[in-house]
A = this chain, B = another copy of it.
Amino acid sequence: MLPPYRSHLSSAIDGNRSNPYSRFFQLATVTPAGYPSNRTLVFRGFLEDDSNSLKIVIDVRSAKVQDIERQAVGEICWYFTETREQFRIQGVLRLVKAQDKDSDLLKARNIAWQELSDAARSQFAWSDPGQPAADQSTFDIEPPDPILPPDTFGLLLLVPQKVDHLKLRSDPHQRCIYQLETDTTWSSQWVNP
């Protein structure tokens, strides 16, 4: 059974489909030093199992991997400009790298790779992200193998535990908080915006 926030989130994704950037959201993590960190990432759909996990693809060389390996918790803030609503999705992060032991997740990682465009795949063959800028020529590369992902490719899953849905179109604004109570049971509570 789908958790109660899922129909609202799916409606928002659907209702904002005409804007390509409606699939972009911001993921906050905490750095090893304890500071907040925040970046825009792309929603790649839901994992096809019962977890309702959101799929994200990341470069395992990027700084956020250190945040995740120290504390595997994140909060997505997803604002939909067309329907004027926000979802704050707090959850557990699960990073699937080439060496993962879970064969189902490795398969999901392969599929996520295959679903990318050549341009998106090429970024995983670029020089180390965050390092002093390499020569321009190192970015002029042939697209990588479209079937087998390179070691730099990670599938990042966010498994929702709490969802805060705010609708700015209503007057007054409407806000509902959904919380995972047991493995499969969600509570919901209308709160003041």
User: Does B133 lie within 8 Å of A24, measured CB to CB?
Assistant: no
> Given known contacts A30-B34, A36-B30, A39-B88, is B73 in contact with A192 (CB within 8 Å)?
no
Report which of B40, B129, B131 forms a contact with A86, defined as CB distance below 8 A. B40
| A2, chain B: closest CB distance, angstroms | 23
Which residues of chain B are near A130, meaning CB under 8 Å? 191-192
Are A192 and B133 touching (Cβ within 8 A)? yes
We find that the number of chain A residues with CB closer than 8 angstroms to chain B is 45
Inter-chain contact B81/A26, CB cutoff 8 Å: no
- Nearest chain B CB to A34 CB, angstrom units: 7
Q: Give 5 CB contacts A-B under 8 Å.
A: A26-B38, A28-B38, A38-B38, A126-B192, A136-B172
Q: Known pairs A36-B75, A127-B192; list 14 more (Cβ under 8 Å).
A: A26-B28, A30-B35, A30-B36, A35-B73, A36-B36, A37-B75, A39-B88, A81-B81, A126-B193, A128-B192, A129-B191, A129-B192, A129-B193, A131-B192
